[in-house]
Structure 1
Amino acid sequence: MVNNSNKKFPKEMFQKAQYDESLAEKIEKPSLSFWQDAWLRVRKNKAAIVSLVILTLLFIMALIGPYLSGHPTGQNVAHSNLPPKIEAISDVSWLPFDGTLTNRNGVTLTPYEDRQIEESYWFGTDSLGRDLFTRLWEGVRISLLIAFLATAIDMVIGVSYGAISGYFGGRVDNIMQRIIEILSGIPNLVIVILLILVLEPGILSITLALAITGWVTMARVVRGQVLKLKNQEFALASKTLGARDFRIIYKHLLPNLVGVIIINTMFTIPNAIFFEAFLSFIGLGLQPPDASLGTLIEDGFKVILLYPYMLLVPAVVISLLMITFNLLADGLRDAFDPKMRD
């Protein structure tokens, strides 16, 4: 038996749904550009944001740090080998900034009082009496300069080389890739030694040594991406309309590779910083009196048992640079990866 109970409800209880045509094109989620979407995902990565803040502070200190302590950059043998001392926190016993130094026999030395020195050196001084705070930030500045110069050269050469190789393909690609394989087989240290025999050790020779083979990784990455994109519809449409090959490469393909290029650049910078520090540490990089993180670590290593603060401070700074650059690069890689979108 059919249940007709629904006939008990009068028609007045039901109303026809109103259709508003103005809501047909309404977008609930705001439209975001590629860069806005990437920035939102970077903001969710706490490690990347913290790294960005630390890097910003290090860059600012590299610019203004040498002028903050008020001490001249020259030598002052009367103030040699002074431990770190900061007047504002010198009374805090567990901080190593009270101007005292403990020798290997456990005896606490007070060189400021013994020599009647009223000045305070925040990070101490070296064996020639030079202010380590000033030299540290001068060294950070030079190390970052070398790293960014070498990375910029790597990016320009690697992107252009990889894009041309991947786009034209065939015999051109085969020849260009064989050249890359030859360069990849030559150790960087051998190239550095050969350059130093021709050029004097310094910023130019280190930058050239980093740039000669450093662009190879970028070129391979860009080539692989160009091989994937050059046969897609937008590139074929541009070619059909009569666009020249180099216009297609630089106006259509490379803008789609910006994320990949930025990520590889961010990973290249800490490698360049470490390589420069390594060369300076073994005596093939900058030469005294020039300062870099490598030369400061090398000077501190010689007297690590007597004055450990000389090694500790530059070692902490270079560690911060390496870690923060890599964490920021990881965050950017996740942000630019379409597979990581919410």
Structure 2
Amino acid sequence: MTSRSLWQDAWLRLRKNRAAVVSAFVLVFLGLVGIFGPMLSPHPYDRIYQQYVRVAPSLEAYPRADDILPGLEREMRRARLTGGEPELSGSTLSVDLTSDEPIDERVLRYFQRSDLFYAPKLELAEGGLTGTLSMNVERSYFLLGTDNLGRDMLSRIMIGVRISLAIGLLASAMALVLGVAYGAISGYLGGRVDSVMMRIVDILYSLPFIFFVILLLVFFGRSLVIIFIAIGATEWLDMARIVRGQTLSLKRREFVQAAEALGATQTGILRRHIIPNALGPVIVFVTLLVPKAILLESLLSFLGLGVADPMTSLGLLISEGAANMRGATWQLIGPAAVLTVILFALNFLGDGLRDSLDPKER
């Protein structure tokens, strides 16, 4: 019978954890939505529909039929036209016109100037006393409503998912590289070098996170790069301590001592023996670091230190929704629900990885 490695055994156990598997599929789905959703959406995330400010979520197209017919009557009164019962078929509106005098085709300019109608056409019968006026109505679907500037909430939530996940992953990757390298070097060298390196970590721990972020934003301005650098540059400290503890334990193991006896360099031992064997707890910690980075970004956006408008993130959407929750609760419910799903999925996946990578469970 062939023996399985720790990673093969962990993969088999992870597949049996339904919550972790479902969470992984949810995260992949949300990642695809964040990447491709804004490209496929009919409404750009930064487009402002001034006539649809703070409209409620609906499966019905806007403007609704109750708003189209009064708009038609208003324009017909301005053009001094009389007609029969209008017919609305999809996005095409038509009405039969009658007049005591020949109808002037210049009446179309009243409908061309309207925000509600476009491409009006006038077909007159012989003599010009009767005819048919037809025009298109620009109807839009806002499945999750619009915000207080008239921007589509669904498109903004999808771009918010993209930005939040990107910042969470990039900041975690930065913390992973810095923390693993720093902790492995500190733990393996030991002695005074380890003591000095850990005191530096303690000093950095004492610096307030918000103060550090404000300094970066003052010197370099608000940008996505500065945000993920600020989060990654502060979150690697925990990673460094975890890797250092693992390294202190691993460097006393027989396979490391055998590598040293065979003349392996310190860099080679760290790269081929220490770091690969310390990755189990590190991977679990990364799955918990990603939601922490997303929450930190949400906190910065909530305080007005995050991404700048018209770009958005889930934290910024929640901040805007909280300011308008009394009159437009959907602005808060949508992004808050998506952020909650992401955080739960990451935590379930982290729990599944922790259980599957536990050597005691083999």
Shorter-chain TM-score: what band? 0.7 to 0.9
2:149 maps to 1:128? yes
Mapped to 1, the partners of 2:265 and 2:202 lie a distance apart of 29
Task: Report 1:86-235 matches (<5 A).
Answer: 86-87=59-60, 112-116=64-68, 118-235=139-256
TM-score of the two chains, using structure 1 as the length reference: 0.82
Question: Quick check: 1:76–1:128 contact (8 Å CA) kept in 2?
Answer: yes
Amino acid at match of 2:17: N
Q: Which residue of 1 aligns with 2:7?
A: 35
2:32 pairs, out of 60, 67, 74, with 60
Question: Quick check: 2:170–2:228 contact (8 Å CA) kept in 1?
Answer: yes
Q: How far has the Cα of 1:292 moved from its partner? A: 0.6
Unaligned runs of 5+ in 2: 69-137
Q: 1:72 to 1:231 in 2, by over 3 A?
A: closer
Amino acid at match of 2:20: A
Task: Report 1:268-283 matches (<5 A).
Answer: 268-283=289-304
Q: Which residue of 2 aligns with 1:72?
A: 44
2:22 pairs, out of 47, 50, 61, with 50
State the Cα deviation string for residues 234-275 of structure 1 (Å, max 9, x = none): 111111111111110111111111212211111100000010
Q: 1:114 to 1:188 in 2, by over 3 A?
A: farther
TM-score of the two chains, using structure 2 as the length reference: 0.77
Amino acid at match of 2:234: T
Mapped to 2, the partners of 1:113 and 1:296 lie a distance apart of 30
Question: Quick check: 1:82–1:111 contact (8 Å CA) kept in 2?
Answer: no
Question: Quick check: 2:53–2:147 contact (8 Å CA) kept in 1?
Answer: yes
Q: Which residue of 2 aligns with 1:21?
A: none
Q: Which residue of 2 aligns with 1:245?
A: 266
Please identify which structure carries the higher strand content: 2
Q: 1:114 to 1:297 in 2, by over 3 A?
A: farther
Question: Quick check: 1:67–1:134 contact (8 Å CA) kept in 2?
Answer: no
Question: Quick check: 1:54–1:324 contact (8 Å CA) kept in 2?
Answer: yes
Mapped to 1, the partners of 2:63 and 2:53 lie a distance apart of 10
Question: Quick check: 1:297–1:310 contact (8 Å CA) kept in 2?
Answer: yes
State the Cα deviation string for residues 27-80 of structure 1 (Å, max 9, x = none): 3xx532322211111122221112112111111111121133312331121122
**Where does structure 1 differ by over 6 angstroms across 4 or more consecutive aligned residues?**
none
Question: Among the aligned pairs, what percent are the same residue?
Answer: 44
Amino acid at match of 2:158: W
3-state SS of paired residue (2:278): helix
- CA RMSD of superposed structures (Å): 1.6
